[in-house]
Amino acid sequence: MMQKRTLGTKGLEVSAIGLGCMGLSSGYGPATDRTQAVDLIRAAVDDGVTLFDTAEAYGPFVNEELLGEALAPVRDKVVIATKFGFPGGQPSRGLDSRPENIRAVAEAALKRLRTDRIDLFYQHRVDPDVPIEDVAGTVKDLIAQGKVGHFGLSEAGAGTIRRAHAVQKVTALQSEYSLWWREPEMEILPTLEELGIGFVPFSPLGRGFLTGAISGTTTFASDDFRNGLPRFSAEARTANQGLVEALGAIAAARNATPAQIALAWLLARKPWIVPIPGTTRLGRLKENIGAASLVLDVGDLAGIETALSAITVQGDRYPAHLQARINR
């Protein structure tokens, strides 16, 4: 039985582990066959997953359409999260969180998702040209209209989170957080705890690296965006193998997989953290879901900290032009 967790102070209850759906349509090479993708999403539902994450930018648009098809039969049993913030859903064109665009994206997403409300509506990246108060106010209006249930932010800085929250309570922040990207621990997690905001880590398995399936000799599809990430250069992947080896040793001792240890570690950090690993494979889906029932004790967590303290992760998370869009 999948455990449940609550995001925010307005009682948004979700499965302890959600499903990030981006990779089914874009980002990591060719899109998954649509029938297979629908089957995977429905298998997740059958195994107790209730939080499904998408965005207009994934495709663009096709990922929302996929979720709409897959979840239509169980719409009232699941929580659908989607996002706004790029012109035409295309990050390469910059940012657009003008109120008129937010409203337009909401209307279009409702149709693609085959639903009458978006359970959790995130600003995908902070737009420095639009005051966050205007963004929060626009989503507040959509909530009043019943078109949106909850307001979320993604990759926002602490000051922006506070300003948004003062206008419309933020239910969740979605940002990258994992055993190999712990920057949120410095300022973001304390802010979320103080304000009662949930945290939804994306890439909780380090874009696949923490599973142990990627090495210095791994090659990615030509349209896999990891090709452009400094942390996924062959040199960085080789240098970072020590982290995976340490995880593997801990996992072996617990009769688990490295991915399960990485997810269980996140779940142990705070009771309001809900990771959303993505996958295109049924076996990996079941492996990830299994992490929800893996409880790490004080000794396990201390062992992980000791192992990590001896390792410095090599390579920047993003190239400079993308790095500039986070923690605003």
SS3 assignment, position 80 = strand
Angle CA 92–98–103, to nearest 5? 105
Is the separation of the CB atoms in 327 and 155 below 8 Å? yes
Q: Left if phi > 0, otherwise alpha if psi is -120 to 50, otherwise beta: which for 215?
A: beta
| Single-letter residue type at 198 | G
Catalytic residue selected from 58, 122, 177, 318: 58
Q: What is the pLDDT of residues 19-64, one digit of tens each?
A: 999 999 999 999 999 999 999 999 999 999 999 999 999 999 999 9
The pLDDT, as a whole number, for residue 297 is: 92
**How far apart are alpha carbons 234 and 29 in whole angstroms?**
18
Long-range Cβ contacts of 234-242 (<8 Å, 24+ apart): 235/314, 235/315, 236/314, 236/315, 237/209, 239/314, 239/315, 240/180, 240/209, 240/311, 240/313, 240/314, 240/315, 241/215, 241/216, 242/310, 242/311
Indicate the burial class of 315 (C-beta count within 10 angstroms; 0-12, 13-18, 19 or more).
Answer: middle
Say if residue 4's pLDDT is above 90.
yes
Mean pLDDT of the chain, nearest integer: 97
The pLDDT, as a whole number, for residue 28 is: 94
| Residue 58 a catalytic site member | yes
pTM: 0.98
User: Residue 173: CA atoms inside 13 Å, Cβ hemisphere, count?
Assistant: 28
Q: Count of H helices and E strands in the chain?
A: 12, 9
Range picked from 198-202, 304-308, 312-316 for highest mean pLDDT: 198-202
> Looking at residue 51, what DSSP letter applies?
E
**Per-residue confidence band for 308, with pLDDT thresholds at 50, 70 and 90:** confident
Which of 74-83, 134-143, 234-243 shows the lowest per-residue confidence on average (mean pLDDT)? 234-243
As a CATH number, domain 4-323 is 3.20.20.100
Q: What is the pLDDT of residues 114-123, one digit of tens each?
A: 999 999 999 9
**Per-residue confidence band for 218, with pLDDT thresholds at 50, 70 and 90:** very high
> Looking at residue 15, what DSSP letter applies?
E
